Amino acid sequence: MTQGICILGATGSIGRSTLDVVARHPDRFHVIALTANSQVDQLAALANQCHASYAAIADASLAGALRDRLRKLGSDAKVLGGPKGLLEVATLDSVDAVMAAIVGAAGLAPTLAAARAGKRLLLANKEALVMAGPIFMDIVRQHKVVLLPIDSEHNAIFQCLPSSLNGWEAKTKGIRRILLTGSGGPFRERARTDLQNVTPDEACAHPTWEMGRKISVDSATMMNKGLEIIEAHWLFGAPADAIQVVIHPQSVLHSMVEYIDGSVIAQLGNPDMRTPIAQALAYPDRIDAGVGALDLFSIGTLNFEQPDFNRFPALRLAYCALAQGGSAPAIMNAANEIAVAAFLRGVIGFLDVVNIIEDTLAVLPAAPLRELADVMAADAEARAEACRAVDRRARSAA
Ligand code: NAD
Ligand code: MG
């Protein structure tokens, strides 16, 4: 029996890396469904290539074009459109595992639908967990979901923990801290005064990883590490003061777990997302990911530095949002999505991104999260507030 796979966000960086690993193991996996936002030609080509039974496009107005394209390629994949189509493919009976690789809050609903359906969940879409942490994890527990982190750091931590994700339980398991590594992004060594006028292309030129544009900007502001602090908190039940960020420019050591006896266990590997993807797809087995062996002799040196909260205030904001709790992380995430999109459109400067998040968090009070509607309300309110902040900054710069 091979595992039926659904990839949410198949046309993205993580989606394509997942298809690469899956294609290496036809004896283990077969693709049931692929989804994309609006990339009709890419989605059709990928669905045809891997003989997917379903292709779903979030922009419902493109369903007809997707159908035409698939038929031209000779594929008889069933086409679904709109947010409902994404929910439908994520919960199909024939799907065993769902790769949640949509970027941003748009991934929350289909990811939670997959969890509610009890699918094995491979989570790349960190924003979904950051927004809805306690609700997301309740659903995971209720439906006994096997939740496997794809983010390279969290996948590393998962591999360094003694057993599966059964909560923090530091005392019983003897864990002292999580050491969450980050490359420091493309501007690690730049003075803050040089950053306001950097271009989107400069911000997206990550020194060690090739990724989608939104997460690349997050890495440059270090909001990506901020999101990952909150992600680690929910995945592993770790309190904020037991999560230490460590800057490690080579991106070879992907994170560590420190135990009370002084042991520190790390996971290392080449910076290639196919490693965590393969680890999660095959867990608890190990499979070839197409990734070359780590050549320690050519790497030679590994460096570690303290994070600089003054140059990268996004880290401080994330710790504050986590301490505030409730809807604060959802507000932070939504403001970040709006600000990053505005920066990528060239409407605001680089430093404005984090300033807008800070302003939005200052204006909107955090509210308790009782149900998903509370998350969606906080998200919508923060987006509206952040849009106003973008307009103000764009006007004052003009
Ligand atoms: P990407 O931009 O390359 O791809 C995003 C995918 O999501 C595309 O398939 C796109 O069609 C789809 N999508 C975008 N907006 C959508 C919408 N509104 N509705 C439905 N689908 C939509 O992004 P990526 O770099 O692959 O990142 C995906 C997720 O994985 C992000 O949450 C990111 O933080 C996380 N992640 C990525 C990497 C990496 O190396 N790329 C590493 C760790 C974590
Ligand atoms: Mg990461």
Q: Output the CA–CA distances (angstroms, integers) from residue 381 to 59, 213, 331, 388, in the order listed.
A: 23, 24, 8, 11
Establish whether residue 85 lines the binding site of ligand 1, counting it when its CB lies within 6 angstroms of any ligand atom. Answer: no
pLDDT higher than 70, residue 20: yes
Ligand 1 atom closest to residue 214's alpha carbon, by position in its atom list? 2
pLDDT higher than 80, residue 100: yes
How many Å lie between the centroid of ligand 1 and the Cα of residue 175? 32
Quote the percentage of the chain above a pLDDT of 70.
Answer: 97
Instruction: Count other Cβ atoms within 10 Å, centred on residue 67.
Output: 19
Ligand 1 atom closest to residue 104's alpha carbon, by position in its atom list? 32
Question: Ligand 1, from 19, 103, 225: best to mutate by most atoms within 8 Å of Cβ?
Answer: 103
Question: Ligand 1, from 211, 333, 336: best to mutate by most atoms within 8 Å of Cβ?
Answer: 211
The pLDDT value given to residue 169: 54
Classify residue 15 as exposed, middle or buried by CB count within 10 Å of its CB (0-12, 13-18, 19+). buried
Establish whether residue 126 lines the binding site of ligand 1, counting it when its CB lies within 6 angstroms of any ligand atom. Answer: yes
The pLDDT value given to residue 355: 97
The pLDDT value given to residue 372: 97
How many Å lie between the centroid of ligand 1 and the Cα of residue 259? 33
* Residue minimizing CA distance to atom 15 of ligand 1: 37
pLDDT in tens, 296-340: 999 999 999 999 999 999 999 999 999 999 999 999 999 999 999
What confidence category does residue 132 fall into, taking pLDDT thresholds of 50, 70 and 90?
Answer: very high
The pLDDT value given to residue 168: 54
* Residue minimizing CA distance to atom 31 of ligand 1: 103
Ligand nearest to the CA of 337: 1
* Residue minimizing CA distance to atom 4 of ligand 1: 12
Quote the percentage of the chain above a pLDDT of 90.
Answer: 93
The pLDDT value given to residue 170: 46
Answer yes or no: pTM beyond 0.85. yes
Q: How many CA atoms lie within 13 A of 175 on its CB side?
A: 24
Ligand nearest to the CA of 37: 1
Both tokens of 230, joined, read 């909150």
Establish whether residue 103 lines the binding site of ligand 1, counting it when its CB lies within 6 angstroms of any ligand atom. Answer: yes
Ligand nearest to the CA of 255: 2
* Mean residue pLDDT across the chain: 95
How many Å lie between the centroid of ligand 1 and the Cα of residue 281? 18
pLDDT higher than 50, residue 92: yes
Torsion of CA 351, 356, 361, 365, to 10 degrees: 170
The pLDDT value given to residue 208: 87
pLDDT in tens, 201-255: 999 998 888 899 999 999 999 999 999 999 999 999 899 999 999 999 999 999 9
DSSP string over 157-224: HHHHSSSSS----HHHHTEEEEEEEE---TTTTS-GGGTTT--HHHHH--SS----HHHHHHHHHTHH
| Per-residue burial over 232-259, b = 16 or more CB atoms within 10 Å of its CB, e = otherwise | bbbbbebeeebbbbbbbbbbbbbbbbbb
The pLDDT value given to residue 172: 55
pLDDT higher than 80, residue 385: yes
The pLDDT value given to residue 11: 98
How many Å lie between the centroid of ligand 2 and the Cα of residue 353? 19
Round to the nearest angstrom and report the end-to-end CA distance of the chain: 61
How many Å lie between the centroid of ligand 1 and the Cα of residue 226? 17
pLDDT in tens, 135-184: 999 999 999 999 999 999 999 999 998 865 455 554 457 889 999 999 99
Strands 29-36, 54-57: parallel, antiparallel or unpaired by DSSP? parallel
The pLDDT value given to residue 323: 97
